[in-house]
Each structure stands twice: as C-alpha cells, then as structure tokens.
Structure 1
Amino acid sequence: MACTVYPSTSESPFLAERHACLILAQINKMRCGQHFCDVQLQVGDKEFKVHRLVLAASSPYFAALFAGGMKESSKDVVQILGVNADIFQILLDFIYTGIVSIGESNVQELIVAADMFQITEVVDLCCEFLKEQIDPTNCIGLFQFSEQIACHDLMEFTENYIHAHFLDIQNGEEFLALTKDQLVKVLRSEELSIEDEYQVFIAAMQWILKDLGRRKKHVVEVLDTVRFPLLPPQRLLKYIEGVPDFSLRVALQTLLKEYCEVSKSLKESKVSSFLQPSKARPRRKARKYLYAVGGYTRLQGGRWSDSRALSCVERFDTFSQYWTTVSSLHQARSGLGVVVVGGMVYAIGGEKDSMIFDCTERYDPITKQWATVASMNHPRCGLGVCACYGAIYAFGGWIGAEIGTSIERFDPDENNWEVVGHMSVPRYNFGCCEIQGEMGRNGFNEGSQSWRVHCSCKWSPVCHRRQDC
C-alpha cells in the first residue's frame, strides 16, 4: 500500500547569514594553500593560482574568458594583459574576501582595472572614495578622468560639483587647462552658481587669453556660451578696451556690435518673444533677488483705516536665504506697480493718504540707489504693469476719481511715457503678464470675460474664464 507524504504547513525556510562568509573564507584559504586551483594567471612577472569557477562567478570578463569558447578556456596558464600585477592582487583579494584597500596612490589604476574586469562593486567603491576626496583644486582633473574611463556616475557628480563651485575654480590652473569642448560644456550649463553673467564672460576670456595663439580661433564658439543680453554694454566695452591683443580686441568689438544690433532689431520689429534666444534669461542657479517694494502697514494695535504707506524696500537673496533692507523709495506709497527691465527695478504710481501719484522711480542693483525718471501722463494706483520688448506698459488703475482704461508705455532709452491705447473695460487691482509678445490681464472689475492685448495695444477676445478659475 502506497502512502503520500505532504509537506507540513508549519515548515518555513531559515537563512544562515554566516554561511556565505564561512564558505568564502574557506575558498580563500584553499587559494592561499593552492588547493583545488585549476588555472594559473600570468600578470606581468607574477603568477596567480586561482579557481576558474570563483573568478567566473565574480566577473563577466572571466566568465567569458573561461567558458566562452575562447582558446584560453582550455589552457592551464593564461596571460592577463593591461593591468599591473599589484593592482590585480588587490582585485583578486577582493574576489576571494569581499575586502578592498583603496587609497590615493592606487584608486585611479584600481578603478580602471575593475572596470576592465567588470567588477562593478569595486568600481562603485572607488567612485565613492573619489567623491569624498573632491575639492575645488582637483574637481576638474576628476571630471576629465571620469570622461576618459566613461564612468557616468562620477562624471555627473564632478560636473555638479564644478557647477556648484564655479566661482572657486574658474581661476585655477585645472580650469584653464580644460579642452575647448569641455569648457563649452561647462559654460553652457543652466546649473552654474554665479553672482552674475559677467563672471561667465570673464572665465571664458581667461581661458582664451591663457593660450591666445592656439585658442583665438575658438573665440566665437566659446563666447557663444555667454548670455550677452544680461550684460551691460558699457561694462563690456570697458573690458574690451583693455584687451592687449589688437586682433582679439577687434573681434570682441565686432561681436558686441552684432549683439547690440540684433537686440535693437528684435525690439524694433517686435519679433515674437519665443524666437528670442533662451540666453536672455538668467541661469537657473544664478544668484537672484526678490524685492518687496513699498506697500502699507497697519499701525500696531490700530485699525486698517490707521494704516500708513511705506517707502522701505526689502530684498531676498536666493544664496543666503535672508531678507535684508535696501535703499528706500523717495516717495512712500502703496498700490504701486513694480516691474524689472534691463536689470533695473521700476516702481510706478501708487498712492499715499488718498493722494495718487504719477511718479516713477528706478532702482539700480549695482549702485543700490533709487533714481527718479519720467512721470506718467496720468496719476495711477492699483494699476497693472508689464514689461514687453524692453518697454514698460501701465494699464488702468484708479485715475483721479475713476477707474481708468488707458494704457501708457514707457521707453527706458528715451525716458518718456506715452498713451498708446485703451482697454475695453476699466479695471484696477488686477494682474497682467506677457507671453510671446502679447499681454493678458485679469481684473477686479472685469465686466466681459475676455482678455488679451497685443503690443499694438488692440484688445481682442481669447477665451472665457470658468467660474472656478
């Protein structure tokens, strides 16, 4: 009579965590005693007796060598080329023990050899060691080394480090020794942590001037990485005048002239903004400031009717993450419009104690001072302001005793305001923005449901707002 035995449902697997370590230790002891070794590796002038199975299980390189139908698979002595015997000893010790000794004297040879034998654990450990050693004096060398060995993890890490510490490394000898392609790759990055774009221009010029005879031919390609629209032409001209080499000075003057002509033609022709180069925008990691301008505050313990207009201006620094007080407005006011054009901050209109202003002030972040510029044609508060093609547009707002529809445009170059059109509906305390050469607004007193304006200031309907927008 046959009987069937079913496995007990109470049985469960157990893991002996020390088993793998004990087996590996025993295999290593066999290697040291040359027991069961079935192949001899010749590396330089040294011989290593090892187990095919152990090496094949640890390295795809050896798995292919011993089991891939190659002639070495049947030989008792196999010659290994392209690696130093001492470095191979370290890798062999790792295969049999899981322990590797990494130091500044062997890390570069070790990572190359480990990559050749496809021992990824050692490659990763070497990368982590190199990351811990990185500083502004060696990051360029590590970046170039990671490119040579195609170690993408280390390459990405060193690139990020260079971007984050750009100001510390741009004057170093390693930076000036970059190849042209490596330099262009670094200077094009959105991730450069810089105070302003002028620092990128100076870094590019220092690289060129380091070996002017050989690098002069790369001037156009290297300087193409610089976002010239963010640089004051006067500052560039002053630098160019001091360039000692005549032909380089002429080339730079020509480039600057072409940039100025292109910028002028874009402004005059009002080509759609999406056609303008992205280099007109600050880099993602460049130092930026957020300004809080004017407004009003409620007196301590008082009512809103006891509030007073402010002249103070505060600035938030994206590097330090702190707010600081900067130069105050000449005229305290609330309900004003604020916009940035050409690197300058403009404070427009506003009111104080029921008095509505037409004044405009301009803040220069370099001199850190406010200056009075031309006043609007109409006093306004609660107005909308927007920049488009280097000009400033002021929309609606309270104008005297009524809500206005008129639109004024300010030309910073000419320093004058002119009335250029009217909105179809009067409004105040509203937001507006520019996109692809058109300006839209969404106002408190929106009678119709449509919104858009072209630079010609002719309004046309685009879409209807949904009630839940």
Structure 2
Amino acid sequence: MANEGCSKAVDSPFSTDKHAQFILTQINKMRNGQHFCDVQLQVGKETFKVHRLVLAASSPYFAALFTAGMKESSKDVVQILGIEAEIFRILLDFIYTGIVNIAVNNVQELIVAADMLQLTEVVNLCCEFLKGQIDPLNCIGIFQFSEQIACHDLLEFTENYIHVHFLEVQSGEEFLALTKDQLIKILRSEELSIEDEYQVFLAAMQWLLKDLGKRKKYVVEVLDPVRFPLLPPQRLLKYIEGGYTRLQGGRWSDSRALSCVERFDTFSQYWTTVSSLHQARCGLGVAVLGGMVYAIGGEKDSMIFDCTECYDPVTKQWTTVASMNHPRCGLGVCVCYGAIYALGGWVGAEIGTTIERFDPDENKWEIVGNMAMSRYYFGCCEMQGLIYVIGGISDEGIELCSFEVYDPLSKRWSPLPPMGTRRAYLGVAALNDCIYSIGGWNETQDALHTVEKYSFEELETGRQADRLPHVPNRDPPSTLTRGRCSAHPGCHSVATRATLAPGAEAKEPSPAPGPSFAAMEPWLREGKRETERKERGRGGEADGRPSCVPWLGIGPETSARQADTPPLNQPARAQRSLS
C-alpha cells in the first residue's frame, strides 16, 4: 500500500515557471556576452548578434527565414528591412526577456514592426496600451490606424468607442479627416449614441463642408445614411435657409479663417502685425476692457468655438481665459459696466437668444438674460450704460433693419426706429451721442457702401424735427431675428473673414458744433411726413415716440435709393411679441 502511494506521487507531474524564466535569463546573458551566437542581423546601420534557435522559436517569421530553405538560412549576416534599429532592439529584448517597453512615442512603430515579425504577444500588448490611451480627440486616428494594419480587435474597440462618444468625436478635427467610406460606415451604425437624427445630419454636412470643392461629389453617398424622415422639418428648413444666407454673404466660401492680428498706430498712421491668436477663427467678437483686447467665440470650417483669448499689449502675448457657456459665432460683443457682454449669434445649430456676461476679476462667464429677437451677424455697441443692437440676419434668413436697446440693469429691451436699409455683417460705432451704421450686406443690394447715423441729441431735443429726413423702412420688420458680432465703444469689429485688427479704445474730444443744415442739405432728404401720415391714417405720434425717424443717410446715393421706399410702419414694431 505504501508503495502504491509513492507510485502515485511519482506519476503526478509538477511544473514551475521559475525554470522557464531561469532558462530565458541565462540565454539573454549569453546573448549579451555574445556566447553561442550563430547569426548576425543587420538592421539599418546596427548589427545584432543572436541565436537562430531562440528567434525561430519566438516568431513564425524567423522560423520561416531560418528553416524554410531560404538563402538567409545559411548566411552569417542577414539584413532585416522595414524596421528602425531602436524599434528592433525593443522587440529583440522582448524575445529574450518577455518584457517590452511601450510608450506613446513608439507604440505605432512598435505595433507595425511586431505585426511584420509576427510577434503576436507584442501586438496584443500594444493594442491594450492604445485602448488605455483612447479619448474623443484621438479615437479617429486610432480607428484609422487599426484599420490600416488590420488589427481587428483594436478596430472593433475603437468603432464601439466612436459610436458611444459620437457627439464628442464629431466635433474634433480628426473626424473631418475620415475617408468617405469610413464616415459612411460610422453614420450607418445602429449603435450611434445621439439625441436625435439631426446631429447625424450636421456631422455629415460638417464633413462635406470641410473640403467642399473635393467632397461635393460625395454628397449623395454621405447623406444617404441620414434618416431624413426622423428629421424635424422645421430644423432642416432653418439649416438650409441659414446656410443659403451665409453662402450668399460669402461666409461659407473656400476662404480660410485667420489667426493673424494687426494693429493700427493712429499717430504714425500705419499697420503692424502682432502676436497671432492661438485659435484661427472668423465671425468672432472683439472687445477692449482694462487695457486688454479680448477675442471671443467665432468659427473655423463650420466648427463654432466658445473659447476666449486675451491680448496684453504690454507682454504682447495672447492668453486663454474662461470659455463662454455656449459656442457662438456671428455674436454681438460690447463692454458695459466693467464687464463684457456677448449677445445672440449662431449657437451650435441654432440661432441664439441668450446673453452672457464676462467678469474679468472672477474670470467667469454667466448667462444673464435673453435677446428680444434672435439674430446673428448684427451690429452692437454701448452708450451711456445701454447696449444697442442693429440689423443682422433673422432665423428666416432675412437681413434686418431693426434697432433695439437693452438695459443691463433692468434687463429690459425696448424697440427704436429702424434703419432705412437692411444690413447684415455691418460695422457699428458710437461717437458724440450718435450711432453710426457702416456698410454691410443684403441680398438685394449685395455689399453696401452707404452709412447711416442715428442722433440721440436730435431725438431728445426735437430742435430740427421739421428738417430731419424721414428714412423709411423697406419692409415691415420680421418677427424673429438672429445676431452678429460688431462693436463696442472705441473698438468695433466689422464682420469679415479678413484680418482681425482690434484697436485700443480711443477717447474722443468734446463734440464740436455740427455743420449748419444748409451745409448738410445735399446729404439729406426732406421727408414728406405729413403726406405719408395722411395716406396711412396715422397721427403725429406713434407709441410715444417722435414722428420723425432720427436715422440719417450719409452720402448722396443713400438719399436717392431710399426715396422710393415706403414709410415706416411703426405700430407693427410696437405690437411685436418679445421672447
């Protein structure tokens, strides 16, 4: 019986990992000491003395190289092509030790070389490393790389990651670098984590608009995965109308957004280039506060930003400060009561109505109210503690002539007499109790070279009421509108994709006496107010405002163009509901 027990004990196999590790350690010592090495591998300019048996046992690639009757099997020096010497050294260390050093700066070359040498364990370890490094900003690059090397495990992982984090992924730069087939594959997936189908449509359009000249031929294929029956018709219509308007205004052209900044010296009368923005952008807002220049929001390649940069003229450097609560382009920006206000604009896929305020001391943006009318690419300026917004484009894609004032303390909006010409992408400035509306664009007249002036002094005193021209509105104002970045006191930004040229706020001297009416008469048109009031059955006053409209067209062509337009229907503005 005792012998049976001993026999059973002898027959039971025992194993230990220590023996295998010991053998591997000893073989590696022999390699380092160049003992029993029977072949040299030439990799680039470096030579590695190794053992055929060890390499053939570790890799099917080397097994075929040394045992399949190839000419390399009898050579003393074998050349290995397509691998860098440093990468090969790491892989050789793995063969002899089972340890591999993987880092962000070598993982791509390492996985390619390991795949070529058929070191499957290294490939798997590299894949696990990449899975741990993945995020919404680099997952597209890893997806494309895994597809290129046919690493199916990593490919499946990155695809699933893209589906789950689609909303974050589609806002990154790498998303726009997808090939057409890769994009279609992602958009067709049933696993996309989205809030509604409109987000898939926006992602497809964003990819097309990145390089419209080359990608427009794919529009049918790229939009085919979008399930249009699930799209809200009104949102799709707004996108089409808004896109058309921006295209007509030259805002979706092939022009590139710029990061360069220029400064104009009013004393020496010349422009100089200063430090560039960190983020190239157009459609941004610019303001001056506390001796600093702030660049706010904007867009590039249809990607809208919420970031804010601050330029210090002393250090001549841009720094990043707090971002807005919403990404915006075509916003209105001005300074009021020691804070920066950002109003309206294009907010994501919608036209924004919210107002944000930036406190430079707390480095914080907060939402403080809403606009009376949503609009974008409008004019904006501050005067005596009030914020004025002018023109812009409505959410119906119509250029506006409307004029409104916002009180930041009471948070109330009030309508004011509109301009005589509809204007979007206009420049606005406040000077000597007047607001100037400069240039701009509308679909009827294209780019505008006319200027209009709104005089508070003449409105308040009425001393020239009988001689002020009536500058009527071309059409009744629409019910909803959206906004544009233009101005703040002393430093306004005209809507353009050209060079951003912010300037320091200038202090104006006391207003000098204006020219006589006789001198101004060739520039102004006498309005036939009494005749127009009789024709429209109106009295001398409309909702508490003087019957005259204090917008003056500056320039002879303005008077001629506006003479044929119908008079302002002021009660229609008074009845508009404010959201």
What's the TM-score once normalised by structure 2's chain length?
A: 0.41
- Structure 2 residue 182 is matched with structure 1 residue 179: no
Comparing both chains, which one has the higher relative contact order based on Cα–Cα distances under 8 Å and sequence gaps of 6 or more? 2
| Equivalent runs, 1:389-404 vs 2, <5 Å | none
1:127 deviates by 0.5
| Equivalent runs, 1:64-463 vs 2, <5 Å | 64-244=64-244, 245=247
1:87 deviates by 0.3
1:243 deviates by 2.0
Q: Distance in 1 between matches of 2:86 and 2:128?
A: 21
What residue identity is the alignment partner of 2:115?
Answer: D
SS class of match (1:82)? coil
Q: What's the counterpart of residue 60 of structure 1? A: 60
Q: Distance in 2 between matches of 1:167 and 1:155?
A: 19
Which has a greater percent of helix? 1
Q: Distance in 1 between matches of 2:89 and 2:34?
A: 15
SS class of match (1:206)? helix
Q: Distance in 2 between matches of 1:243 and 1:16?
A: 71
Question: CA offsets per residue over residues 257-292 of structure 1, 9 Å max, x none?
Answer: xxxxxxxxxxxxxxxxxxxxxxxxxxxxxxxxxxxx
1:234 deviates by 2.2
Q: What's the counterpart of residue 8 of structure 2? A: 9
1:209 deviates by 1.0
Question: CA offsets per residue over residues 399-419 of structure 1, 9 Å max, x none?
Answer: xxxxxxxxxxxxxxxxxxxxx
What residue identity is the alignment partner of 1:65?
Answer: L
Q: Distance in 1 between matches of 2:232 and 2:43?
A: 62
Q: What's the counterpart of residue 559 of structure 2? A: none
Q: Note closer, same or farther for the CA distance 1:205–1:23 as it changes in structure 2 (3 Å cut).
A: same
Q: Distance in 2 between matches of 1:16 and 1:188?
A: 51
Q: Distance in 1 between matches of 2:48 and 2:9?
A: 49
Aligned identity (percent) is 80
Q: Distance in 1 between matches of 2:239 and 2:171?
A: 17
Structural RMSD (CA):
1.5
How many residue pairs get aligned? The number is: 241
Q: What's the counterpart of residue 397 of structure 1? A: none
What's the TM-score once normalised by structure 1's chain length?
A: 0.50
What residue identity is the alignment partner of 1:14?
Answer: F
Q: Distance in 1 between matches of 2:223 and 2:13?
A: 66
1:172 deviates by 1.1
Q: Distance in 2 between matches of 1:80 and 1:10?
A: 50
Q: Distance in 2 between matches of 1:146 and 1:10?
A: 51
What residue identity is the alignment partner of 1:235?
Answer: R
Question: CA offsets per residue over residues 314-359 of structure 1, 9 Å max, x none?
Answer: xxxxxxxxxxxxxxxxxxxxxxxxxxxxxxxxxxxxxxxxxxxxxx
Q: Distance in 1 between matches of 2:234 and 2:9?
A: 85
Q: Distance in 2 between matches of 1:82 and 1:25?
A: 29
Q: Distance in 2 between matches of 1:185 and 1:114?
A: 28
What residue identity is the alignment partner of 1:219?
Answer: V
1:148 deviates by 1.0
1:92 deviates by 0.2
Q: Distance in 2 between matches of 1:120 and 1:179?
A: 28
Q: What's the counterpart of residue 50 of structure 1? A: 50
What residue identity is the alignment partner of 2:119?
Answer: I
1:9 deviates by 3.5
1:14 deviates by 1.5
Q: Distance in 1 between matches of 2:113 and 2:38?
A: 23
Q: Distance in 2 between matches of 1:9 and 1:217?
A: 77
Q: What's the counterpart of residue 431 of structure 1? A: none
**Moved runs in structure 1, 4+ residues, more than 4 A?**
none
Gaps of 5+ in 1: 1-6, 247-469
What residue identity is the alignment partner of 2:36?
Answer: F
Q: Distance in 2 between matches of 1:149 and 1:23?
A: 34
What residue identity is the alignment partner of 1:191?
Answer: E
Gaps of 5+ in 2: 1-5, 249-579
